[in-house]
């Protein structure tokens, strides 16, 4: 999935999306993930869903979460299990089971194929780039609805499942929006044997989570793909590294590298629905290191739902440690109008500029 020829230069504007950007579509946040998962389990039991494997998975993961990690959010819980595995400590759940649990919870919580906010963002984000920590695919579905098929790219190393993507002709001027998903994606399947990441369309990605799963296209024997859901730990990049005979194959690292490049050279960056959770120390270092090297940065905009009093002060304080690293005199804007209103305003500005030019 390569970018087209007119995208050789990094975009001037970059959107950085957090969990709050997908809330309107039903996607859970880290704070309410456990309650969402319990709701999903209740609905499966009420509907007498016959898939006993999925029900057992939910029951086992939730039982351990409540018993041993009751004060942890989903990222902290996932990270704790990952650390236990790295230390060769046996636990009742595995990271693979929790990744599937996360994917199923998101899949069954989302109540719409797209959202108005993401559709508005798609219209505005042409010629721009999107970096996201979200696992859901609401953004992709919304972009397809607004701009059509093949209007975005996950970048090199993410291979469409079941087909070979033909490169765009050199003369094409069509722009494909780069989407860099730092924590993996609900529709990405990872082969532990060869390190290949496959992406699936929204109509068939659920097969990744079925009992039979999907197998890697590179192997004749039965090698099943696992959902690529990455927790915010220091090993998130190391875990993606699978070495071939001579060279390392590190598809996630290439995504993080491209995201860092965009943050280091853009003129404007928008943080939407992201609150810099204390658990994700690596992300704070990643963003601050990139922005402090950016000599082009003119404006940083933080978009959030309305916040008041101490909640607003705490929110802005979490950004202060990042913004203080910026060396040039960039303008900082805290916008509390919400995601959808923000996108509507940006589109009005673009339309106004076009009318003036015409």
Q: What is the C-alpha to C-alpha distance for residues 82 and 95, in angstroms, rounded to an integer?
A: 6
The answer to whether the predicted template modeling score (pTM) of the entire model surpasses 0.85 is yes
Q: Within 13 Å, how many C-alpha atoms sit on residue 55's CB side?
A: 11
Q: What is the C-alpha to C-alpha distance for residues 109 and 35, in angstroms, rounded to an integer?
A: 11
* Residue 2 confidence (pLDDT): 37
Low-confidence ranges of the chain (pLDDT < 70): 1-8, 49-50, 91, 163-174, 211, 220-221, 232-251, 279, 351-358
Measured distance between the N- and C-terminal CA atoms of the chain, rounded to whole angstroms: 35
Residue ranges of domains in the chain, CATH in brackets? 5-23+114-186+241-357 (3.40.50.1220), 33-101 (no CATH)
* Residue 244 confidence (pLDDT): 44
DSSP H/E element including 120: helix 116-124
* Residue 82 confidence (pLDDT): 81
* Residue 237 confidence (pLDDT): 55
Q: Residue 102 — left, alpha, or beta (φ > 0 → left; ψ -120 to 50 → alpha)? A: alpha
């Amino acid at each position: 999935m390569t970018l087209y020829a007119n995208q050789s230069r990094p975009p001037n504007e970059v959107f950085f999306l957090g969990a709050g950007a997908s809330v309107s579509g039903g996607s859970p946040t880290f704070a309410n993930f456990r309650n969402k998962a319990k709701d999903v389990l209740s609905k499966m039991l009420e509907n007498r869903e016959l898939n006993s494997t999925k029900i057992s998975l939910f029951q086992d993961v939730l039982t351990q979460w409540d018993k041993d990690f009751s004060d942890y959010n989903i990222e902290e819980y996932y990270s704790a299990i990952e650390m236990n595995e790295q230390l060769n400590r046996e636990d009742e759940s595995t990271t693979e089971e929790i990744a599937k649990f996360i994917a199923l919870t998101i899949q069954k919580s989302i109540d719409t194929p797209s959202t108005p906010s993401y559709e508005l963002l798609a219209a505005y984000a042409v010629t721009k780039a999107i970096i996201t920590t979200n696992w859901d695919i609401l953004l992709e579905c919304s972009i397809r609805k607004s701009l059509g098929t093949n209007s975005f790219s996950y970048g090199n190393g993410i291979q469409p499942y079941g087909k070979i993507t033909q490169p765009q002709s050199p003369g094409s001027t069509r722009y494909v929006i780069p989407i860099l998903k730092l924590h993996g994606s609900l529709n990405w399947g990872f082969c532990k044997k060869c390190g290949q990441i496959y992406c699936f369309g929204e109509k068939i990605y659920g097969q990744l989570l079925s009992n039979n799963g999907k197998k890697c296209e590179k192997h004749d024997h039965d090698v099943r793909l696992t959902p690529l859901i990455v927790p915010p730990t220091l090993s998130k990049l190391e875990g993606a590294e699978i070495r071939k005979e001579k060279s390392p194959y590190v598809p996630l690292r290439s995504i993080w590298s491209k995201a860092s490049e965009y943050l280091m050279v853009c003129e404007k960056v928008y943080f939407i629905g992201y609150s810099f959770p204390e658990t994700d120390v690596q992300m704070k270092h990643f963003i601050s290191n990139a922005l402090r090297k950016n000599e082009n940065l003119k404006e940083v905009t933080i978009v959030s739902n309305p916040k008041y009093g101490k909640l607003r002060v705490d929110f802005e304080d979490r950004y202060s440690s990042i913004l203080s690293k910026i060396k040039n005199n960039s303008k900082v804007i805290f916008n509390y109008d919400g995601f959808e209103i923000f996108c509507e305003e940006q589109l009005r500005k673009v339309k106004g500029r076009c009318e003036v030019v015409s």
